[in-house]
Structure 1
Amino acid sequence: MAYDRSAVIKSRVSAPPERVWFALTDAGALTAWYWPASMNPRAFSEPVVGGRFGVDAGEMGFAGEYRELDPPRRLVQSWRWAGDDRDSRVTIELTPSGDGTELLIVHDELDEETAEMYRAGWESCLTRLPAYLAASTPRAESR
């Protein structure tokens, strides 16, 4: 099986890159927006190179390792869906855009079928990100 496919997702949110970065790397933030609250997700995140992260919602979950961190611009991480036997890679680029942030997510090292499923998954979870960013306060996100 060839693992040469990518899922590429572009999105824009009305929040500065620093707030989006926090939403992508803080365990509490991931719990708040990544999956619906009805799934009762749990998350962990240690945003340092070599640190681990993951979200678990019972029968669904993923985990990985931070490979590259350039706050608040670029994030590269390994990614493994629960039950999979190999890692893939996620690269997220954050670019300031007016009063918001452009996100470019490239999830690669995938086969064709998995790339399509992950593209749909990223698009689904990103629909919850703007509401999280609108409801959260910058003070609560300072580190």
Structure 2
Amino acid sequence: MRKPEFVYVTYIASTLDKVWEALTTGEFTRQYWGGRTIQSEWKPGAAVKHIKEDGSFDWEGEVLKADPPRLLSYTFGNVLGERPSRVTFELAMFGQHVKLTLTHDQFDEDSKVLPAISNGWPAILSSLKSLLETGKALYPEWR
């Protein structure tokens, strides 16, 4: 039986380097993650910390792969009492746009996280796209 997964593809009028920077820089992530920040050294084995607006941790993961500016993969920490799942961003040029493919997988069969991220990721990535293309993220409207 195939394991559950979530895949989302968007096209962003930007460059690979700018999208990579948006995915890996705390100040960028704070803008399109609704005030929350993702921090890491972005090297395999490094911690990934998702930090709430008040400075407390929401979840923590680990960098699995980092190949700037094309591939980033990390575990999505212990959320809702489930074992960590995996998030992978693949970036490629598609004409003059960046094709961003997000795959979130390795969920438990009866995952409660999967339905939650199925709403969350489209909002977050739409906010990222808006920020890079217009200079304005969707926060706080989407959250």
TM-score normalised to the size of structure 2?
A: 0.78
- Aligned partner of 1:55 among 50, 59, 76: 50
The aligned length equals 131
Q: For the residues of structure 2 that align with 1:60 and 1:47, how far apart are their CA atoms?
A: 18
Change in Cα spacing, 1:34 to 1:92, as seen in structure 2 (3 Å) is same
Aligned ranges for residues 1-20 of structure 1 at < 5 Å? 4-20=3-19
SS at match of 2:104: strand
Higher helix share: 1
Partner amino acid, structure 1, of 2:89:
I
Change (3 A) 1:102 1:29: same
* C-alpha distance in structure 2 between counterparts of 1:34 and 1:50, whole Å: 23
Higher strand share: 1
What TM-score does the superposition give when structure 1 sets the normalisation length? 0.78
1:122 paired residue number: 121
Contact between 1:30 and 1:43, CA under 8 Å: does it hold in 2?
yes
CA contact (8 A) 1:9 1:119 kept: no
CA distance in 1, matches of 2:2, 2:51: 25
Structure 1 position 123, deviation (Å): 0.3
- Structure 2 spans left out of the alignment, 5+ residues: 137-143
Contact 2:47 2:62 in 1 (8 A): yes
Whole-Å separation in 2 of the counterparts to 1:69 and 1:12: 21
Identical counterparts, % of pairs? 24
The match for 1:99 among 89, 96, 101 is 96
Aligned-pair distance for 1:85? 4.2
